[in-house]
Amino acid sequence: MCKMKSEALDMLKALKKMITITACFLMVMGTSSMIHAEEAQTFAARYIQISTDISQSYDTRTFYVTNLTNSVLENVQYYDTNGTVNTTATLQPGQTITVNVNVGSAKGTSLKTICNDQVNVQASNDAYYMPVSFIADNTVVESNTVVNRYGSGASCSAPKTITNPNNPGAKYQINGSNYKQVSFGTPSVDFTYSRVVRNPYTSNVSYVDQDGNGIGKDSFTVTEANGGSFTPQSVITAANGRSYKLMNGQGAVSQSYDDGARNYTFRYQLQENATARPYFITVRYVSDGTLLNANTYTVTNGKTVKVTTPATYTTPDGIEYKRKSGEEASISHSFDQGMKTYTIEYEKNVTDSNQPYSIRINYVDLLSGRTISSKSADVAVNKTVSINIDSSIKDGDTTYTLASGQPNAISHKFGSAQRTYNVYYTEKGKEVESYDVAVVYFDITNNRVLSSRTVKAELGKEAMISAPETVKDGDKTYTMLSGQNRETKHSFYSSRRRYIYFYRDVEDTANEGTVVTPNANGNTTVTPVGNDTVLTVNPNGDLTVQTPNGNEVLDDDNNLVQEEDNDTPQGGGNKDKDNTTDVDDNKTALGGKTKNTTDYTGWYIGGGCAAVALLGLAFFLIKRKNNRKNSENA
């Protein structure tokens, strides 16, 4: 019995332990369930994610609401703190929606979401993309964006010039500054541009007769807006008084601004007897095959030209030539004799070498090459003369000072070959370190400038002047005439400011043998075949084109223009009642004064003597008056 009671007691104890263990297990399980429930509660707050970004407009703020779960979330409410947006949405798993909140002014906001009683809040990113536009002709031709941020605003810049795709040939320049700083809340920035109006230019028109001789010129203006056009006259009257008719197949021409300046040629047919046209004769002065000088004279219908040739000729270097015995002292040429060239032979004039002579000093403007003034000095036999060079000189209101590197004095020994010296000056306060030298390509076939360019001459350097063997102009090719050096070294201290190279049309076979001829007087002469012209270039690079209708010269812009006061034939001359033009060539530039030079020495001496006499008379009268006063006081 006791044994059974003991077993019962053991069973009761075992049951109590089992109950205790079960209770502990249940307590543990309950606690675990509570922990997992709390974790689930925390995870639910992460179902929704709010993010923000730079907005696309100044008056909106951009948010992104994302479902982070794999389940559909219904009744997701979102609204902003300003009360602008209050919406409920259903989000699919992983879905993101964009919420743009209109703020209406330069301010920020926040977005709130509520999902299953969980709340998320995100402040806005107070920045937006601000448009920047570049406007030309009221059209946006370029654009970009910059970020405008709260507190700092935005800065933007623009190019100073742009192109308009709708008008690619034009250039546009910005109006005002190309930099702007704007505050936060500025909707956009515009930079406006205006088209740069390019200056009009001129295209040239040449009239030539059936033989290619120039009979007139014209021009027309080309503007950027309208281009330019020209209609030739069907009939023209040239300066020579003759009538010409436009040849068939020629009409109006037009061009756009971008075509650039052009030269147009219209051909005309003479409408009267061509044998009555004026023509040239040429008188050449040579010594042992060297051309000393050449002059041309116009012969008109019914007239006779008489030329008196000089007995002596002195070159710029002081070498004297005399006309050979038996050579013509005068030439008489009538119109019916036709075009002709006369050649007069000269020889060196051997004289007593022990004779004094003069040298010449030219004061030259370094920038332009212009001779400001000159002076001379006598050189006695077997003596050396030293000439002091002025440190400064006046030319009107302009003061010139001796250029750097120039001598203060010139020493010349009797018998030295050089008889002319150039000394260079610059305007006071304007030191010249460089200047431009023009290089001109001239077409002798059509008597026109093909093109020109400039070469920079720099202090302390020699400039290289060069020209190509051939030149293209449109579909035409031109080749250089013989007798010219393709390369020439130009000294900085030189009065020359232009070099001219002569070309012919490759189809102009008549001038294949035409040669550029240097003269002993420093000039260069070209006599083309078939167009009644003679071209002469002096040592400074000045071109004169002699035509039957008058002379033409190159102006400072390298345009061929009519020479003023050119009614007298080359070499001077007077017409008498017998229709004869007398030309005394001793008055031409064949080593002496030109026909336009006037000697005022007599006036100067006479005027000086008169002034001295008047001063003496005034002094005498004043002295006699003073003597009378003294005697009265006595």
- Output the CATH code of domain 201-275: 3.10.20.320
Closest-CA residue to 292 (of 331, 328, 329, 321): 321
Topology match between the domains 48-122 and 201-275: no
How does DSSP classify residue 382?
A: T
Compute the radius of gyration of the chain from its Cα atoms. 50
Largest CA distance in the chain: 199
DSSP secondary structure string for all residues of 150-184: TTTBEEEE--SEEEETTEEEEEEEESS-SEEEE-T
Q: Are 48 and 63 in contact (CB under 8 A)?
A: no
Q: Per-residue pLDDT tens for 298-316?
A: 888 888 889 989 888 877 7
Q: Are 412 and 383 in contact (CB under 8 A)?
A: no
How many CB atoms are located within 10 Å of the residue 159 CB? 13
Average predicted confidence (pLDDT) for the chain:
81
Q: Per-residue pLDDT tens for 17-72?
A: 676 665 555 454 444 433 333 333 334 447 899 999 999 999 999 999 999 999 99
**For residues 546 and 454, which has the higher predicted lDDT (pLDDT)?**
454
**For residues 254 and 549, which has the higher predicted lDDT (pLDDT)?**
254
CA distance linking residue 509 with residue 302, whole number of Å: 33
The model's confidence at residue 631, banded by pLDDT at 50, 70 and 90, is: very low
CA distance linking residue 516 with residue 623, whole number of Å: 72
Q: Per-residue pLDDT tens for 316-325?
A: 766 788 999 9
Residue 156: predicted pLDDT: 94
Element (DSSP H or E) covering residue 492: none
Residue 616: predicted pLDDT: 52
Residue 171: predicted pLDDT: 84
Q: Per-residue pLDDT tens for 82-105?
A: 888 889 999 999 999 999 998 876
CA atoms within 13 A on the CB side of 198: 17
DSSP secondary structure string for all residues of 358-372: EEEEEEEETTT--EE
- Output the CATH code of domain 48-122: 2.60.40
Residue 72: predicted pLDDT: 92
Residue 22: predicted pLDDT: 57
Closest-CA residue to 313 (of 286, 332, 331): 286
Q: Are 405 and 344 in contact (CB under 8 A)?
A: no
CA distance linking residue 104 with residue 58, whole number of Å: 9
Mean pLDDT of 429-450: 92
Determine which of 54-63, 129-138, 591-600 has the lowest per-residue pLDDT on average: 591-600
Residue type, 105: S
3-state DSSP percent of the chain in helix, strand and coil, to 5: 15, 50, 40
Determine which of 12-26, 423-437, 546-560, 596-610 has the lowest per-residue pLDDT on average: 596-610
With a pLDDT cut of 90, the percent of the chain lying above it is 42
Q: Are 343 and 319 in contact (CB under 8 A)?
A: no
Written as six digits, the tokens of 179 are 């930099």
pTM over 0.85: no
Domain segments of the chain: what residues?
48-122, 128-195, 201-275, 602-634
CA distance linking residue 630 with residue 577, whole number of Å: 71
Element (DSSP H or E) covering residue 33: helix 2-44
3-state secondary structure 539-603: CCCCEEEEECCEEEEECCCCCEEECCCCCCCCCCCEECCCCEEEEEHHHCCCCCCCCCCCCCHHH
The model's confidence at residue 581, banded by pLDDT at 50, 70 and 90, is: low
Closest-CA residue to 514 (of 498, 499, 535): 535
Q: Are 559 and 553 in contact (CB under 8 A)?
A: no
**For residues 43 and 503, which has the higher predicted lDDT (pLDDT)?**
503
Whether 519 shows a pLDDT value over 80: the answer reads: no
Q: Per-residue pLDDT tens for 335-374?
A: 878 778 899 999 988 766 678 888 999 999 999 889 999 9
Mean pLDDT of 204-227: 90
Evaluate the CA torsion angle 321, 324, 325, 327 in order and state its sign.
Answer: negative
Element (DSSP H or E) covering residue 629: helix 601-633
Question: Which residue bears the tokens 């710029």?
Answer: 316
CA distance linking residue 466 with residue 490, whole number of Å: 10
The model's confidence at residue 7, banded by pLDDT at 50, 70 and 90, is: low
CA atoms within 13 A on the CB side of 392: 9
Question: Which residues are paired to 351 by β-bridges?
Answer: none
Residue type, 360: R
**For residues 481 and 33, which has the higher predicted lDDT (pLDDT)?**
481
Determine which of 183-192, 298-307, 548-557, 564-573 has the lowest per-residue pLDDT on average: 564-573
Whole-Å CA distances, 459 to 82, 353, 404, 462, 605: 76, 40, 10, 8, 44
Long-range contacts made by residues 229-234, C-beta under 8 angstroms, separation at least 24? 229/253, 229/254, 229/255, 230/203, 230/205, 230/254, 230/264, 232/205, 232/207, 232/266
Of the chain, the end-to-end C-alpha distance in Å amounts to 199
Q: Are 572 and 583 in contact (CB under 8 A)?
A: yes
Burial level of 132, CB count in 10 A (0-12/13-18/19+)?
Answer: buried
Whether 594 shows a pLDDT value over 50: the answer reads: no
